[in-house]
A and B are shown apart, each in its own frame.
Chain A
Amino acid sequence: MAVVARSRRTKEALLAYGLLLPVVAVGAVFAYYPLVRIVQYALFQKYSNSDQQDFVGVRGIWEVLSSHAFLDGVWITVKFMLYTVPAGLVLGVLLATVANRRLRGIKIFQTVFSSTIASSVAVSSVVFLTLVNKQAGFFRNVGWLDLDTPAGAMRGVALSSIWQNIGLTFIIVLAGLQAIPDEINEAATLDGYRPIRRFFKVSMPLISPTLLFLAVILVVSALQAYAQIEILTRGGPQQSTETLLFKITQLQGKTDLQTGASMALGLFVLTVLVSAGQYLLLSRRVHYAD
């Protein structure tokens, strides 16, 4: 009996590992191996005219992470996050709430609101660039969107990102709202909740797991913003839109590798910390249905 049980357990374990294999393989190629290489790059300083490399160690990484360049990148990244995440969430929730009703033709609006999910960051950034074009753009006279001024550039990059993400936010919030049973909303109406109070006291707590998920996704996507910056501003003017990831991509020369890799490690740690902090902070206010 014991032998049978053991061989069955072995079989189940083999099956489990077999099923895990694809994820582990993909992770190994695209995540774990690169991470190991980045640590390696960060620990050694290379030189342009020789194959020699010096071990700079943790001290070398720390020097980069305490430099003005890195801290500026962090500040700009955080600013970009603050510009895009709250506004994107509020807008998505607003649109989803408005579109969550049974009206003739509401599907048209739902499609329009979610359409940005179907275009890539690159495409929507090019479209946005056309919109703010100084000669022919629709927003050519909108002063606060002038990409040639530092503040305007940040606003422009943020606005295009919010627009890019709104489709995803809208769809996920709408799905969350539609998962609330009709009877709960009806009970709330009979209890005397007016629409706005009903939203804050009933709907929002019920979709809070969805909102937490979205907040984490949007924060991570803000930390990783790159394409819209490359296309709209190339980090300028005066490096005012050089987010951390954009900075890192500029550091690809042989001699820059140690700096770039150290910054990448910094960004990695920052992402983990922010996501974990956000999760711990917000999950106390999230109600998961039983």
Chain B
Amino acid sequence: MSGVNFDQVTKRFGESTAVDRLSLEVKDREFMVLLGPSGCGKTTALRMIAGLDTVTSGTLSIGGTVVNDLAASDRDIAMVFQSYALYPHMTVRRNIESPLRANKRVRVDAGEVARRVAEATEILGLGPYLDRKPGALSGGQRQRVALARAIVRRPEVFLMDEPLSNLDAKLRTQTRLELVELWRRLATTFIYVTHDQVEAMTMGSRIAVMSEGRLQQVGEPQAVYERPANLFVAAFIGSPPMNLLAGTLQGANAVHTVAGTVAVAHPIGMAGGAAVTVGIRPEDVRIATIHDVQTAGVTSTVTATVLNVELLGHERHVIAVVGDARWVIRQTDGDPVVDVGQAVTLVVDPSAVHVFDSSTTERLN
């Protein structure tokens, strides 16, 4: 058992609260991603697990043991830093060995050290670089050395603080895959901090979205994407982000906006006239064709003006002004081609509409 449990954990730095009453259970052998914009408290949460920051209040436990007052070096964790934090004066081999040799009181015998280094080196393909210094390695290789240094400890929990942010786009995609493979191979708990929602979606078994020190939503990536719990999560997850538009509730199944009426398939349990915000993913909205106009029964439409069309090769993004908002419509080859400045009618799939309370920002349907 080596999950990590936050129970009402708060961290304050002087007057400011970095993490506010965080309650989150990271299960054993889970790949948990802490996701949020900079300053949301995700890194502070990770540093508290590592023991680099102390817990102001609440209870933090690793594998069922409360670690609030346990020294960083006595916790069974390993951490990969954003800058990798390799020792520049040591060879790659010395760097990787370092957790096994650092503490004289917990001596690991030489044969065991060599065996573990060989194993980590083999997993990460670092064999040819063992006698080099970190300065002679590329960014991707340095990142692997940092991972190897974490692996040799055989920790119960791996902590990673934006480990891919210093790599170029191509290497990042490749390393993403390798990290997930590593997690499967090691079968231990990974806690991974990132501000990149693509990393979170592609790697995490579950995602914990944070904002301003507070946990917004926890769940499997697909579930968070499909049913964001509030406006923050709705806007943060997804690329391009979810289209939003303010309006008022008309009955239980329709929202009136300045650009038209949006039908909602799932009834909303709130009084008519309430101020709400509708959200539609770019792939759930399309530009109406003549066929739509001729078909009776299409009631969920809004009017818009095309601002720009972005060509991405495999798809097009139509940027359109809807009321006072900007929407993105994701199009593929067969969809109607529009021109900049053209007035269009947008058709919204009622079953894909998200409705949020404008004042509390919470999800309503």
Residues of A near any B CB (own CB < 8 A): 181, 183-184, 186-194, 197, 201-202, 205-206, 208, 287, 289-290
Q: Closest Cβ of chain A: how far from B123's Cβ, in Å? A: 19
Main DSSP-derived SS at the A contact region: helix
Decide: A206 and B103 in contact? CB cutoff 8 A. Answer: no
Segment at the A interface, from B75-83, B175-183, B203-211, B280-288: B75-83
Expressed in whole angstroms, the Cα–Cα distance for A188 and B52 within the complex equals: 11
Tell me which residues across on chain A come within 8 A of B251, comparing CB atoms: none
B77 touches A194 (CB 8 A): no
A200 to chain B, nearest CB (A): 12
A186-B52, A289-B88 as given contacts; A191 in contact with B81, CB under 8 Å: no
Chain A residues with Cβ below 8 Å from B103 are: 192-194
Q: Given A202-B87, A205-B89, A289-B88, do A190 and B72 touch, yes or no (CB 8 Å)? A: yes
8 Å CB interface, B27-54 against A: 50-52
Identity of the chain A residue whose Cβ is nearest the Cβ of B81 in the assembled complex? A183
Q: CA separation between A183 and B159, bound complex, in Å?
A: 14
Contact B135 A190 (CB under 8 A): no
A-B contact pairs, 10 of them (CB 8 A): A181-B85, A184-B87, A187-B85, A188-B87, A188-B102, A189-B72, A190-B78, A191-B99, A192-B102, A287-B89
Given contacts A186-B81, A205-B89, contact A289 B135 (CB under 8 A): yes
| In the complex, chain B residues whose CB is within 8 Å of the CB of A201 | 102
Q: Is B214 in the interface zone, CB < 8 Å from A?
A: no
| Residues of A contacting B79 in the complex (Cβ-Cβ under 8 angstroms) | 186-187, 190
Q: Across the two chains, which residue of chain B brings its CB closest to A206?
A: B89
- A197–B103 CA distance with the chains assembled, in angstroms: 9
| Closest residue on chain A to residue B82 by CB atoms | A183
* Residues in A whose Cβ lies below 8 Å from that of B85: 181, 183-184, 186-187
Q: Which residues of B contact A189 (CB under 8 A)?
A: 52, 72-73
Asked if B133 contacts A290 (CB within 8 A), the reply is yes
Contact B89 A183 (CB under 8 A): no
Chain A proximity of B333: nearest CB distance (Å): 47
Q: Does B98 contact A (CB under 8 A)?
A: yes
> Chain B residues in contact with chain A, CB under 8 A?
50-52, 72-73, 77-79, 81-83, 85-89, 98-99, 102-104, 106, 133-136, 149
Chain A's closest residue to B106 (CB) is A192
Residues in A whose Cβ lies below 8 Å from that of B86: 187
Contact of B73 (CB < 8 Å), options: A190, A208, A289? A190
CA distance A193 to B105 in the complex (A): 10
Bound complex: CA of A190 vs CA of B80, how far in Å? 10
B residues near A287, Cβ cutoff 8 Å: 88-89
A189 to B149, alpha carbons, bound, how many Å? 13
Given contacts A183-B83, A186-B52, A289-B88, contact A197 B104 (CB under 8 A): yes
Residues of the A chain whose Cβ atoms lie less than 8 Å from the Cβ of B98: 188, 191
Complex formed: what's the CA distance from A184 to B79 in Å? 12
Q: Is the CB of A192 within 8 A of B99?
A: yes
Given A181-B85, A187-B81, A287-B89, verify A193-B102 contact (CB < 8 Å): yes
Across the interface, which residues of A come within 8 angstroms of B50, CB to CB? Answer: 186, 190
Question: Given the complex, which residues of A lie within 8 Å of B87, measured CB to CB?
Answer: 184, 187-188, 202, 205-206
Chain B residue contacts of A192, Cβ below 8 A: 73, 99, 102-103, 106
Specify the chain A residue showing the minimal Cβ separation from B159.
A190
Min CB–CB distance B357 → chain A (angstroms): 42
Complex contacts, A290 vs chain B, CB 8 Å: 88, 133-136
Q: Residue on B with the closest CB to A201?
A: B102
A181 touches B83 (CB 8 A): yes
Q: A191-B73, A193-B102, A208-B89 are in contact. List 8 more A-B contacts (CB 8 A).
A: A186-B85, A191-B99, A191-B102, A192-B102, A193-B103, A201-B102, A205-B87, A290-B135
Q: How far is the CB of B363 from chain A (nearest CB, A)?
A: 38
A188 and B50 CA atoms in complex are apart in Å by 12
Measured CB to CB, the nearest residue on chain B to A290 is: B135
Chain A residue contacts of B149, Cβ below 8 A: 191
Considering the chains assembled together, what is the distance between the CA atoms of A81 and B162 in angstroms? 50
B87's closest neighbor in chain A, by CB? Answer: A202
* Chain B residue with the shortest CB-CB distance to A286: B89
Min Cβ gap A169→B in Å is 22
A201 to B89, CA, bound (A): 10
